[in-house]
Amino acid sequence: MKKIHLNAFNQCSAALQSFGQYRNPRERTSTGYTQTHHWVDLAQLLDRGGFDSLFFADVHGAYDVYRGGAEAGIRHAVQFPGNDPTVLFPAMAAATRHLGFISTYSTAYYPPFHTAKLFSSLDHFTGGRVGWNIVTSYLGSATRNGMGGLLAHDQRYERAEEYMEVVYKLWEASWEDGAMVRDGARDMHVDPAKVHPIDHRGTYFDVAGPHMCEPSPQRTPTLLQAGQSGRGIRFGARHGEAIFVTYPTVEAARPRIARIREAAREEGRDPAHIKLLAGLAVVVAETAEEARLKERRLRSYASPEGGFALFGGWTGIDLAKFKDDDVLDGLDSEGIKAAARWFTAAHPGRIATLADAREEMKLASLIPLITGDAVQVAQEIERWADEADIDGINLVPIYQPGSFTDFIDLVVPELRRRGRIRGSDASISSGGETLREHLFGAGHAHLLPDHPGWRIAGVDPRTRRPH
C-alpha cells in the first residue's frame, strides 16, 4: 500500500494563504512569526506529530497587482511582512529529531556560490535535514526591489540549468571524501589534493571554486521544485526529488501527475524517484458536523480581498477589473479563463462568478479544502494517493498551530491505522537521519544514482569520484 508523506507548508510571515485569520482567537502566527520560540514550538509539534518536513515559501516584495498597487496586499498581510526562514533551521533542528526543513531560494537573486555555501552550512547544522525548493522567481515587485532581473521565461530556465550545473559541481565534485585529514605528522589540516577547483566558465556564471564547505551529510541538499508551466515541469522532472503541486481536484491532478512522471522517465530517471506532494487544506473535527461548523466559523474570519491580492501576484490578473456577477468563463482574457477552469473543476457547476471566486478564496486561497471527520479526511487523502498517484501532501494551514494540531490529533492516527504512514510511533522514521532518507529510505543520504546531478557534476555515483 502506498505510504503518504506529510509536509507542512509555511511562510515566515504574518499571514500565509488564509487572510483575516488574525481575527481567530487561536491564530498565533500573526503575532508569533517574529519569534524564534514560535517556530521551534511548531517544529517540535510537527516532529512529534509524524510530519516528514516543514517547508517555507519566501518572497522579496509585496503583492501589488490587485487594484494596481500594493495597498490590499499590505492591508491583508499577504505573505508580507516576512522574515528570512533559513536562519531558523539550525534552531529548529536542534530541538527536533527527524523533521526536515525546506526553504524556497531563488536562482534569480543569489550567486550560485553563495547558495551552495548556505545550503551546505544548513545541511551541516541540521545534520542532513535540509531541502532546497528551487525557484526562478516570479514577483515583479522583487525585481523593483533590486532582487535579480526578470528574464524571459525560457531564458530564466536556461540560466537556472547552468546555475544547477555550478552548484552540483560545488557540492559533488569539489571536495572528495576524507579531505579533512588533521594530520599533524604531515603538517596537514586539509589534504589539498582532495579539494578541487571547479573552474566553471559558462554563459551566465564563472565560478572558480573550490567549494567553501566540506561535504555535508547529504552533500547536495534534497531538491524540491514547484513550477507547473511546461518548462517548469521539465526542470522539475530533471532536478526535483520532490515536487510541490497544486490541483483543484483528484481528477485534474491525475493526468498532470502522469505527465510529470513521464517527463522524469524522459530524463532517464525512475518516475518513482520524484515524490509528488499535493497542496491540500483540511478542516477536521471529531465529528463531520463539528467540522462543518468550524469551516463556517473560519470563513467568518476571512478577508477575501487578501486572496485576490495573492491571486494577482501569482497570475498577473487584477480581479478588481471584474464585477461581482461577471461570469468568469465568459470574460475575454486567457488568464481569467484559466482561473475559471480552475474554479469550475474545483466545484463543478458552482463557481462561475467573481462572487463565487471570493467565497472560494476565503480559506487557503486556491488550495483544495477537505472538511470532515478524521475518517472522511483520511479517505479523501487516500483517494489523492491512489487515484491521482501523489506521494504525499503539502498541508497548507488555515491558522496556526490549530490546523496542524487538529491534523496531528485526528487525521495522523487514522492514516496510521490505515498503514499509510511509515514508522510505528508518533515520530516518523524510515530508519535514516537525513531528509533524503525520509523520502527514499535509509542509505539514500546522497542523490539517487539515476539523478542527473551526478552526470552534470561529472562524478560517478558508484565511486563518487570524477569520471
**422 alpha carbon, distance to own chain's centre:** 21
Q: Nearer Cβ to a second copy, position 76 or 444?
A: 76
178 binds a second copy (CB under 8 A): no
Q: Site residues for a second copy, window 140-159 (CB under 8 A)?
A: 141, 144-148
Residue 141, helix vs strand vs coil? helix
Contact region with a second copy (CB under 8 A), list: 174-182, 242-250, 264-272, 412-420: 174-182
What are 424's three cell numbers? 510505528
Nearest distance from C-beta of residue 71 to a second copy, angstroms:
5
Using N-to-C axis directions, what is the helix angle for 230-239 and 250-266, rounded to 10°? 60
Query: Is the separation of the CB atoms in 336 and 317 below 8 Å?
Result: yes
Q: Site residues for a second copy, window 205-264 (CB under 8 A)?
A: 205-214, 216
Say how many residues touch a second copy, by CB under 8 A. Answer: 84
Nearest distance from C-beta of residue 180 to a second copy, angstroms:
7
Q: Tell me which of 3, 44, 125, 380 binds a second copy, using CB under 8 A.
A: 125
Count, residues in the chain: 467
Q: Site residues for a second copy, window 291-320 (CB under 8 A)?
A: 301, 303, 305-306
Q: Nearer Cβ to a second copy, position 81 or 255?
A: 81
Q: Tell me which of 121, 228, 376, 405 binds a second copy, using CB under 8 A.
A: 121
Residue with cell 520560540: 37
12 binds a second copy (CB under 8 A): yes
Q: How far, in Å, CA of 346 to CA of 153, rounded?
A: 28
The one-character DSSP state at 287 is S
135 binds a second copy (CB under 8 A): no
37 binds a second copy (CB under 8 A): yes
Nearest distance from C-beta of residue 410 to a second copy, angstroms:
28
Give the containing element (helix H, strand E) for 206.
Answer: strand 206-207
**188 alpha carbon, distance to own chain's centre:** 42
**Residue 412's closest CA among 430, 432, 392?**
392
Q: Nearer Cβ to a second copy, position 138 or 247?
A: 138
333 binds a second copy (CB under 8 A): no
118 binds a second copy (CB under 8 A): yes
Q: Is 431 exposed, middle or buried (0-12, 13-18, 19+ CB in 10 A)?
A: exposed
- According to DSSP, the β-strands at 206-207 and 200-201 are antiparallel
Q: Site residues for a second copy, window 66-85 (CB under 8 A)?
A: 70-71, 74-77, 80-84
